[in-house]
């Protein structure tokens, strides 16, 4: 997607290619480096995205193969272990599909 921005000096604009933040997270999940998981957690924390299954489905639609354990690890780091525990309890049936 192309996004124009205004230069801080002058009246010219610069065109640059921007990547959808979800796609960026998918790329980071694929590499699964410690720093990438930390970056994903930071994005999730600021995005207030509390729906791991919806994010996973969107990433799969984009062509990524997302490990559910890495996804939940990132959510746990973003929202805390109490949130993660409540998520596990509330979604036990759905999570058993991934075992």
Nearest to 15 by CA among 23, 6, 24: 6
Average pLDDT over residues 7-29: 74
Torsion of CA 90, 22, 67, 69, to 10 degrees: -40
Predicted TM-score of the model (pTM) = 0.78
- Count CB-CB contacts under 10 A for residue 65: 9
Indicate the domain borders of the chain.
19-96
Question: Per residue in 57-95, pLDDT tens?
Answer: 999 999 999 999 999 999 999 999 999 999 999 999 999
């Amino acid at each position: 997607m192309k996004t124009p921005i205004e230069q801080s000096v002058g009246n010219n604009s610069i065109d640059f290619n921007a990547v959808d933040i979800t796609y960026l997270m998918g790329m980071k999940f694929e590499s699964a480096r410690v720093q990438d998981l930390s970056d994903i957690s930071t994005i999730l924390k600021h995005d207030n995205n509390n729906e791991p299954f919806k994010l996973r489905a969107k990433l799969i639609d984009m062509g990524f193969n997302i490990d559910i354990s890495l996804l939940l690890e990132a959510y746990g780091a973003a929202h805390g272990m109490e949130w993660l525990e409540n998520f596990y309890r509330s979604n036990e049936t759905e999570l058993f599909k991934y075992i």
